[in-house]
Amino acid sequence: MFQTFSPQRLFTALGSDIVDVNFFVPGLPTPAFTSAFGAVFTDVDLASVTSLQFFNLGNRSLGTFFAPVTAGESIGRVRITSGNTALGPNETGGIDLVVMDDFIYAEPHAAAAIPEPPTALLLALAFVAMTGLRRIQLSR
């Protein structure tokens, strides 16, 4: 039923559909926070149901983000904007240098070759020209 991303780590709540994740200093009961969190869901079928809701240290919601449901769309490219300037040695006020830690994605599959629009247009024009020439030859 479930296609797993990492089978040894597949889990869910029992008796509920909600899991609250709290952060603590490792090895201590001291509450802590993180600046990033993500999850990989499998078998999402309904829109606006499965979500991640983030809270600040005062337990106020920072937003709810729903897992997308797709009809089998294939992702061919992702654009990531990290910060507002390229990494360099001169970070000053108003500059936000951001680096990435990890990427998680499904196993890539080879894509079928799709002609680019200019190529398809040239092929269509060639076909029309050949058809026209053939008609001229037949009418002689």
**CA-CA-CA-CA torsion sign (128, 129, 134, 140):** positive
Whether residue 42 has pLDDT greater than 60: yes
Q: Residue 55 above 90 pLDDT?
A: yes
User: Is residue 51 a contact partner of residue 39, using CB atoms and an 8 Å limit?
Assistant: no
pTM of the entire structure? Answer: 0.57
Bridge partner list, 126: none
Query: 31 pLDDT exceeds 80?
Result: yes
Query: What separation in angstroms does the CA of 85 have from each of 79, 90, 102, 103?
Result: 15, 10, 20, 21
Confidence of residue 2 (pLDDT cuts 50, 70, 90): low
Higher pLDDT, 20 or 85: 20
- pLDDT of the residue at 121: 67
